[in-house]
């Protein structure tokens, strides 16, 4: 089987941190892998590529639109590819006409937000918007309306049929959930490894990129997550957590250092490209926290 890669562009995707995450991973294939905030699945697909004899993989996300896409790829990838190919053909025909591209993009965004289409069409629209919106960002308002503007790509790859088919095959052995992250504990067994990539704590008050669901993942949620990790630790499960390093913006901010003081806190370099101000893009540190 071909090596599978994420089918989405994703702000905060973990592809660039895989080497650092790899160093924290157990080199024993006899384990269950659980990812409660799957996002674009960069770490999931890395695990599936590198541990072919993995006992079981369970993924979860609170984002229903995202999980619908995973489930659709798993169960009806051929129908999905037909719709995506049509969307790609239509969009590429408008490559030299920005105004018509805008009309097309925003009309599809409206249909997506109506959420009256069938499951496969909704998944296709989700992937289309992801491939054509600004920087692959997923952001919704309080009414759960996707509100990211059109991106500047002339002819983006919207339908990668070969990869989608590969993803479909590899997802056949993956349990897909759409629940609160705490529900994933019900799937843990002996030798379970959890990887957590929650919506990051914003580095400043003006950061709005964690509006990932209609209910925001605020500091209270970060604390609830830490309490859940304490529970997993007491039960003997290994876990790895990624999050923003708020010290990038304020060296005196000890939110995570205090919260996870009894665990292993590592700072790793990561390139940040999601910022309207180009001067604020570049290399920052992110946190990689482990209990072992």
> Does the domain at residues 66-161 carry the CATH identifier 3.90.280.10?
no
CATH 1.10.1020.10 maps onto the chain at 66-161
Find out whether 54 and 170 touch, Cβ atoms under 8 Å.
no
Name the class of domain 15-62+179-290. alpha beta
Find out whether 130 and 63 touch, Cβ atoms under 8 Å.
no
- Which residue reads 């590529």 in tokens? 49
Selected residue with higher pLDDT from 281 and 154: 154
Radius of gyration for the chain, computed over Cα atoms and rounded to the nearest angstrom: 19
Residue 239 bridge partners (DSSP): 194
What is the pTM for the complete model shown?
0.91
Give the pLDDT confidence of 108-164 residue by residue, as tens digits.
999 999 999 999 999 999 999 999 999 888 999 888 999 999 999 999 999 999 999
């Amino acid at each position: 089987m071909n090596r599978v890669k994420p089918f989405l562009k994703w702000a905060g995707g973990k592809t660039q941190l895989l080497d650092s995450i790899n160093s924290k991973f157990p080199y024993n294939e006899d384990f269950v892998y659980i990812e409660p905030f799957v996002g674009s699945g960069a770490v999931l697909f890395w695990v599936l590529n590198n541990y072919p004899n993995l006992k079981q993989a369970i993924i979860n996300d609170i984002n229903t639109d995202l999980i619908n896409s995973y489930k659709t790829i798993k169960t009806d990838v051929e129908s999905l590819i037909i719709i995506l190919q049509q969307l790609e053909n239509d969009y590429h025909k408008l490559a030299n006409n920005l105004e018509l591209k805008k009309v097309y993009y925003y009309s599809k965004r409206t249909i997506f937000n109506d959420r009256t289409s069938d499951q496969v069409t909704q998944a296709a629209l989700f992937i289309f918007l992801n491939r054509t919106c600004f920087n692959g960002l997923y952001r919704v308002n309080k009414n759960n309306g996707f509100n990211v503007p059109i991106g500047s790509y002339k002819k983006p790859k919207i339908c990668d049929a070969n990869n989608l088919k590969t993803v479909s095959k590899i997802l056949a052995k993956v349990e897909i959930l759409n629940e609160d992250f705490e529900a994933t504990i019900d799937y843990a067994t002996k030798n379970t490894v959890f990887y957590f990539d929650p919506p990051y704590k914003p580095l400043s008050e003006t950061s709005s990129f964690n509006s990932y669901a209609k209910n925001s993942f605020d500091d209270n949620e970060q604390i609830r997550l830490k309490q859940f990790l304490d529970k997993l630790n007491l039960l003997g499960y290994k876990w790895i957590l990624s999050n923003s390093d708020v010290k990038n913006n304020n060296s005196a901010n000890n939110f995570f250092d205090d919260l996870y003081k009894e665990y292993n806190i590592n700072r790793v370099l990561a390139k940040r490209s999601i910022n309207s101000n180009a001067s604020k893009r570049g290399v920052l540190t992110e946190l990689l926290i482990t209990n072992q």
